[in-house]
Amino acid sequence: MNKRILSRSPRNLLFFFQALGLLLLLIYKGKAIDKLTLATAGGLVLVIYLSNLLLTKITSGDNYIFLITTMLVSIGIIMIYRINEGLGIKQLLWISMGIVLFFLTYFILKKIRIWENLTYLYLIGAYLLFFVTFVFGDRRHGAINWINIGQFSFQPSEIIKILLIFILSSYYSNKDRWKEIKNSSYYLMGVIYSFIFLLFLQKDLGTALVFYAIFIAIQFIYEDDKKPILINIGLFVIFGLLGYSLFDHVKIRFQAWLNPWKYIERQGYQITQSLFAIAEGGFFGKGLGLGHPDFIPVVYTDFIFSAICEEMGIFTGIGIIMLFMIFVYRGFKIAISQDNKFYRILALGISILFGVQSFIILGGVIRMIPLTGLTLPFISYGGSSILSSFVALGILQICSEEIKSKEDLDEAGD
């Protein structure tokens, strides 16, 4: 009985937190908030609560990664709605769709068990998405990485990230089969570097860095031949220097990172305003609606963390960092506990994806590392990011369950 009460406590605490956040928005907006918005927000709170409850009934795996995610989502939606009501309503819809996609992904992966044998299908899908991006892509902030279909737009690279993890998982889980092909490791390197090269052509260097980090981490763990790893490290240095030399916006961002105060009126404006906002908020923040997040350009995507720190305090910022750390820790724990090699690598890749992407953007807004144009998973505004993140979460959820490998099933049949 005590165990049951304890297992429900985090969900009840999250429900209380979300209701409190909704109340804060009511206080901030006063009578200006319309009934439809209130009903939509209240509906999302209820959907999140019921989703967590449903998950405990249908899965034998980890029940906490979805809880952590919905906590991050709650903080993000409160801040986005405070900055821009229209974007807040859109984000509510994206999150609702994301939760639906989470459960669809979970049930599809649970029902079908041939994913480790579809390497070529993942490759074709990735190259096809790159082709579509180059032909129909729209340039934003210097990068060609958006596809517009009517009023709807999405980033194909968000899907390719997941396909990349599937490619690596299917390759290394079937390493014995691929060994029959001479120099198969170098062919894989060629494929991954072709992805990175195409991202360079799109000038989407933040995503290229995430791709490289996922690849080098999984290769370091599962590659028997260490020579390709050394080659990768050398190529990373070379490509970094080439990127700085060939792309002006890379050079500008690097210069703004080294000394933003020198370029405070131009390329250093965003990062300096970010630092001002974090410092202005102090430990407990100025209060919801009492800050000036509008001083930071594109604050609801790249710099949402700075806005949160200004109005909710560094205390909340530290909480967000800890939530990401716990999420990644549980992802690694899932990978270590998984007996099926394909799903083990899959869980590892997704954990690295979330860990690296959150580190890059958090490090960028506090000037720890040069800033890149990435979104903070589950918090920043963006349909493509939210939907792909929930799909990845659904994959991680199925990886947390006990999955028998093909060899185990064969032995059981004998």
Q: Kindly state the DSSP code that residue 33 receives in the 8-state scheme.
A: S
Domain contains 349: yes
Phi and psi torsions of 125, nearest 5°: -60, -40
CB 312, CB 361: distance < 8 Å: no
Per-residue b or e along 299-331, where b marks 16 or more CB atoms closer than 10 Å to that residue's CB: bbbbbbbbbbbbbbbbebbebbeebbeebbebb
d(Cα 146, Cα 154) in Å, to the nearest integer? 6
Q: C-alpha angle with apex 298: 295 to 304, nearest 5 degrees? A: 85
Residue whose pair of structure tokens reads 């209130």 in the numeric block: 38
Which of 295, 272, 279, 278 lies closest to 371 in space, CA to CA?
272
Number of structural domains found in the chain: 1
Domain contains 49: no
Output the pLDDT for position 371: 79
Output the pLDDT for position 318: 94
What DSSP letter does each residue of 329-342 carry, written as one string? Answer: HHHHHHHHH--SHH
Token pair recorded at residue 20: 């409190």
Q: Please measure the distance between the N-terminal and C-terminal CA atoms of the chain and give it in whole angstroms.
A: 41
Cα separation values, 109 from 21, 36, 161, 359, 395, Å = 34, 35, 17, 28, 7
Token pair recorded at residue 180: 């029959």
Domain contains 248: yes
Domain contains 51: no
The neighbouring-strand residues paired with 138 are 146
Token pair recorded at residue 332: 């690694």
Domain contains 237: yes
Domain contains 158: yes
CB 303, CB 271: distance < 8 Å: no
Output the pLDDT for position 54: 84
Per-residue b or e along 346-373, where b marks 16 or more CB atoms closer than 10 Å to that residue's CB: bbbbbbbbbbbbbbbbbebbbbeebbbb
Output the pLDDT for position 329: 95
Q: Virtual CA dihedral for 246, 249, 250, 252, nearest 10 degrees?
A: 120
Output the pLDDT for position 174: 83
Output the pLDDT for position 35: 67
Based on C-alpha coordinates, what's the Rg of the chain?
A: 22
Q: What is the pTM of this model?
A: 0.88
pLDDT (tens, 9 = 90+) of the chain, 414 residues, equals 344 444 456 666 666 676 776 666 666 665 556 666 667 777 777 777 788 788 888 888 888 899 899 889 988 988 898 888 888 888 888 998 999 999 999 999 988 888 888 889 999 999 999 998 887 767 665 566 777 776 677 788 889 999 999 999 999 988 777 666 777 788 888 899 999 888 888 877 788 889 999 999 998 888 877 788 888 888 888 877 777 777 776 777 777 787 888 878 777 888 888 899 999 988 888 888 888 888 888 888 888 999 999 998 999 999 999 999 999 999 999 999 998 899 999 999 999 999 999 999 998 888 888 877 788 999 998 888 899 999 999 999 999 987 765 555 444 444
Domain contains 165: yes
Enclosing domain of residue 221: 115-413
Domain contains 82: no
* Type and span of the H or E element at 154: strand 152-154
